[in-house]
């Protein structure tokens, strides 16, 4: 298991730096490009959500990326207002275009790109863990597929 | 780990045949990139009619970037115009479809196809 941690404050510049950090950790872990993209989407949207909605009293954010043999987990903690992103209703943009509301698509992207979401009141306050499953690497033999 | 900070977005606007305006975006349309290009998109939406947004060099598209595209498409449509998206990268197209943007903004694989999509 490999774990990477980063603390940041609630500011636009820090969010920009943090998403680039996630991207670079994903590269260092040699994740497949689609998983790397999914991680970055979820990090960006979770942090944007905190930046926009956590409330003025919120100031601290903690990020953790943990690589397991079969998955990667992105944990995002913040000390803002309670918000369970895993229970929030995702919605796609309405059509036709005339009826479309331009905002609110972040929740939809998080639910689409993460394989699993878990929310708890822990750590700094809000703690969301987004899970991204990895396919077995070439050459490895899974228990289910390798035995008869 | 050293973090290399980059500018999020470059935006080039060109005039094509038949009154078409082409917007070429390069970089990441993330929260920072969307804030950078929002004013220019607002101006283009108010002054142009047929707009193609070339996404071939956009490596990342966040929800705030989608908001910029939807707002622009709505403003153009309200004035009888149209916005077409051109050549998104695979992951960007997946994000567009996940959010349902492909249902309200046409996506073309090449310039000829994009031009043909204008009503």
| Residue B49 contacts A where some CB pair is shorter than 8 Å | no
* pLDDT confidence tier of residue B113, bands split at 50, 70 and 90: very high
Query: pLDDT digit string (tens) for A2-50?
Result: 999 999 988 888 888 898 899 999 999 999 999 999 999 999 999 999 9
Q: What is the pLDDT of residue A103?
A: 82
C-alpha to C-alpha distance for B115 and B119, rounded to whole angstroms: 9
Q: What stretch of H or E contains A71?
A: strand A71-78
pLDDT tens, position by position, B55-110: 999 999 999 999 999 999 999 999 999 999 999 999 999 999 999 999 999 999 99
Contact yes or no for A130/A73 (Cβ under 8 A): yes
Chain A positions touching B71 (Cβ under 8 A) are 102
User: For A107, which residue in chain B has the nearest alpha carbon?
Assistant: B63
pTM of the model: 0.89
Instruction: Test A48 with B105 for CB contact under 8 angstroms.
Output: no
Contacts of A148 by beta carbon, 8 Å cutoff, 6+ apart: none
What interface predicted TM-score (ipTM) does this complex get? Answer: 0.89
């Amino acid at each position: 298991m490999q774990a990477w941690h980063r603390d940041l404050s609630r500011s636009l510049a820090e969010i920009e730096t943090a998403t680039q950090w996630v991207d670079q950790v994903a590269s260092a872990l040699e994740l497949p490009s689609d998983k790397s993209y999914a991680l970055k989407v979820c990090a960006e949207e979770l942090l944007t959500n905190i930046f926009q909605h956590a409330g003025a009293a919120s100031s601290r954010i903690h990020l953790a990326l943990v690589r397991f043999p079969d998955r990667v987990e992105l944990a995002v903690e913040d000390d803002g207002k309670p918000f369970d992103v895993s229970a929030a209703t995702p919605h796609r943009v309405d059509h036709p275009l005339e009826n479309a509301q331009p905002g609110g698509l972040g929740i939809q992207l998080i639910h689409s790109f993460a394989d699993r979401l878990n929310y708890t009141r822990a750590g700094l306050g809000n703690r969301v863990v987004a899970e991204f499953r990895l396919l077995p690497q070439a050459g490895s033999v899974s228990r289910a597929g390798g035995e008869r | 780990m050293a973090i290399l900070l980059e500018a999020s977005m470059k935006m080039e606007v060109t005039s094509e045949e038949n009154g078409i305006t082409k917007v070429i975006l390069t970089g990441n349309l993330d929260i920072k990139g969307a804030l950078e290009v929002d004013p220019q998109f607002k101006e283009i939406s108010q002054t142009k009619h047929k707009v193609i947004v070339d996404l071939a060099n956009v490596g990342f598209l966040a929800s705030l970037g989608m908001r910029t595209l939807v707002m622009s498409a709505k403003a153009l449509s309200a004035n009888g115009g149209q916005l077409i998206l051109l050549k998104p990268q695979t992951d960007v197209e997946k994000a567009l479809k996940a959010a349902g943007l492909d249902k309200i903004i046409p996506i073309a694989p090449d310039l000829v196809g994009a031009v043909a999509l204008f009503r």
